[in-house]
Amino acid sequence: MSILKYEDIGHGVSCVDSQYIRPGLASCYLIEQNGHAAFIDVGTNYTTPLLLDLLQEKNIPIENVDYVIPTHVHLDHAGGAGSMMQHATNAQLIIHPRGARHMIDPSRLQAGASAVYGETEFKKHYGDLVAIDEQRVTIADDGFSINFQGRVLKFIDTPGHAKHHFCIIDEDSNGIFTGDTFGVAYPELTVNGQPFIFPPSSPVDFNPQDWLNSIDKILAAGCNRAYLTHFNKVDNLNQLASALRTRVKLFADFALRAPNTEELKSQINDYFIAEVLATGCQLSPQEITDILCLDIDLITQGLMVWVEKNA
């Protein structure tokens, strides 16, 4: 049984470890406002009990959950949305227009993921996806905003990682919830407070130019902090954006030059080891690979899909 792990990070925002695969890999965010709650990303079905525990710990009644907001429909972000909505009967789901149909009828999403992972592995990590009543689904186009108990949340379309991805600007904290668009930065690879950030170019929507445009759009929002799903809050957005831009372009270049999938995977692995060690990280090369192995697999797959689409 998973144990609730969360951190209050200011401005009524809490970062919750979703306990997906391993601790410190994926998070969800609770925004608390006037005794009400909004969740940004909700992990998988197995995360739902943790989020319910958090509400209880903070004395927020389940009927005061106003919004469930996945940044996109990848299952480490939205897999638990239907489950959470079953409990939070007053909540409205806010979703990207390209993702709405998968939340209303998740059968294709589940079938596709089961084909990739195998039925047993899918059930182990995600359980069965739960459909959400269309009447409880609100589509957020670019520029859409909501007033959450006097707190304005604004949505911006940010493709590159996924076509069904938006980010959410929170005016109260001057922060932006970025899902996967502003990269991944794991706690184990942070050295002297400096995150090691990279773009998770997982299948099937990687688009380097769209991603670069989305990074610019995030910076143009003028926020002081980004809330990453993988993992927790980061500052110094201009510095991180520079590293992220470099790696988006570099990964695309690796993919275009690689003779085959195995060579590409090996090149990305070697690149990560060299770059992480250059930060002064004290982990061994094997430990770095172990932390990043899932990402390396998904990055490789996503890049190869992109190359094949553009061949």
Q: pLDDT by residue (tens digit) across 37-52?
A: 999 999 999 999 999 9
Classified as helix, coil or strand, 152 is strand
Q: Write down the pLDDT at residue 310.
A: 83
Q: Is the pLDDT of residue 136 over 80?
A: yes
Q: How far, in Å, CA of 72 to CA of 154, rounded?
A: 15
Geometric angle at alpha carbon 24, from 103 and 220, rounded to 5° = 65
Geometric angle at alpha carbon 284, from 280 and 285, rounded to 5° = 100
- Average pLDDT, rounded, for the chain: 96
User: Checking DSSP bridges between strand 166-170 and strand 145-148, what pairing results, if any?
Assistant: unpaired
Q: What is the mean pLDDT of residues 231-246?
A: 97
Per-residue pLDDT band at 1 (split at 50, 70, 90): low
Identify which of 143, 255, 235, 252 has the alpha carbon closest to the alpha carbon of residue 182: 235
Domain 6-246 sits in CATH 3.30.365.10: no
Per-residue pLDDT band at 2 (split at 50, 70, 90): confident
Which two three-digit tokens encode residue 160? 């590159």
Q: How far, in Å, CA of 52 to CA of 208, rounded?
A: 37
Q: Write down the pLDDT at residue 118.
A: 81
Q: pLDDT by residue (tens digit) across 61-95?
A: 999 999 999 999 999 999 999 999 999 999 999 99
Per-residue pLDDT band at 36 (split at 50, 70, 90): very high
- Report the amino acid identity of residue 290: D
Which two three-digit tokens encode residue 36? 């009400």
Classified as helix, coil or strand, 261 is helix
Q: pLDDT by residue (tens digit) across 147-172?
A: 999 999 999 999 999 999 999 999 99
Identify which of 37, 24, 53, 117 has the alpha carbon closest to the alpha carbon of residue 79: 117
Beta strands across the sheet bearing 65-69? 6-8, 13-17, 27-33, 36-40, 65-69, 92-95, 137-139
